[in-house]
Amino acid sequence: MADQTNQKQPLSAAERQRLFKERQREAGFRHTTVWIHTEAEDEGKQAARDGKPLEPMESKDPMSWAAGWISEKGKQ
Output the CA torsion sign for 47, 53, 58, 60: positive
Q: Give the C-alpha distances (Å, rounded to integers) separating 37 from 2, 4, 59.
A: 55, 51, 10
Rounded CA-CA distance 22/7 in Å is 25
Whole-number average pLDDT of the chain: 92
- Per the CB < 8 A criterion, the answer to whether 18 and 37 are in contact is no
Concatenated DSSP letters of 40-63:
HHHHHHHHHHTT--S--TTSS-HH
DSSP 4: G
- Residue-wise pLDDT for 28-42, tens only, equals 999 999 999 999 999
How high is the pLDDT of residue 8?
86
Counting residues of the chain whose pLDDT is more than 90, the rounded percentage is 83
pLDDT band at 44 (very low <50, low <70, confident <90, very high): very high
Nearest to 20 by CA among 31, 9, 10: 31
